[in-house]
Amino acid sequence: MLLAEEVRPRIATAGMTAYYGPVPGVKNVSLAFAPNQVHALIGPSGCGKSTFLRSLNRLHEETPGARVTGLVSLDGEDVYGSRVDLRRLRRRVGMVFQKPTPFPTMSIYDNVAAGLRLDGRVPRAVLNHAVERALTVAALWAEVKDRLHTSATALSGGQQQRLCIARTIAPEPEVILLDEPTASLDPQGTQRIEELLFNLKERFTIIIVTHNMQQAARVSDTTSFFYLGELIETGVTRQIFTAPKETRTEAYITGRFG
């Protein structure tokens, strides 16, 4: 068991406010995410969860006019610093979206290898090892090892999402951001992803947005509740779901609104 002083945040925010126009979508959020844990972000639609998540690796900058104030740090480094390489940052903080997004013109193999090839020519043996490793960690290797060079779009929805996870982890990030990764999957696909999270956290820090309260309770170590762009409460998942300190948190997790 880790001693308290050994658990330092992998990624943290301090007074972070995200704007998608003149009005902030997320206001003054301060959170710290310890390494090798699953952290769930919950709250009703439109409360700022995904906005916050996208701000952690500056993906919001793909939206014209979006901006962030405050501090976001990764291992003590300000990710908004002027010397930060965005491509390198997004390799260190990878993201998987709600709908599976395999590259449609690429094979299964090339989807996983795509991020590794951004730095230039990579020896085939190195690529082969990295692709097999990522697919194995994503619990997909046994299902696709005999058809690596077939279209990724021929996979089922759940397999496509695990492929996207493999593509994300191939460059060996430190943090994985998951934006409702099981929202478009059937129960079996959802179960496979949830089971996968328990293994992934041994290697990565995971932050997941979910509308499914049962999922948050099952898979996460800590939970943060957002409402109307504000962080209402954060804590150990068991405490949040059994003895929340804020009345709005209790009302949400018991289904009185949302």
pLDDT band at 99 (very low <50, low <70, confident <90, very high): very high
Residue 2 has pLDDT above 50, yes or no: no
- Between 124-137 and 157-169, two packed helices, what is the crossing angle to 10 degrees? 130
Domains of the chain with CATH codes: 4-104+175-253 (3.40.50.300)
What's residue 5's pLDDT? 38
- What mean pLDDT value characterizes the chain? 94
Could you give the percent of the chain with pLDDT greater than 90? 91
Residue 52 has pLDDT above 80, yes or no: yes
What's residue 258's pLDDT? 72
What's residue 119's pLDDT? 78
Q: What is the pLDDT of residues 189-203, one digit of tens each?
A: 999 999 999 999 999
Helices (H) and strands (E) in the chain, counts: 10, 10
Q: What is the pLDDT of residues 212-241, one digit of tens each?
A: 999 999 999 999 999 999 999 999 999 999
Q: Stretch 22-48: mean pLDDT, rounded?
A: 95
Cα separation of 242 and 245, whole Å?
Answer: 10
pTM of the model: 0.93
Q: What is the pLDDT of residues 135-163, one digit of tens each?
A: 999 999 999 999 999 999 999 999 999 99
Where are the strands (E) in 4-142, listed by range?
Answer: 11-19, 24-33, 38-42, 67-74, 77-78, 93-96
Residue 188 has pLDDT above 60, yes or no: yes
Q: What is the pLDDT of residues 82-94, one digit of tens each?
A: 999 999 999 999 9
Residue 7 has pLDDT above 70, yes or no: no
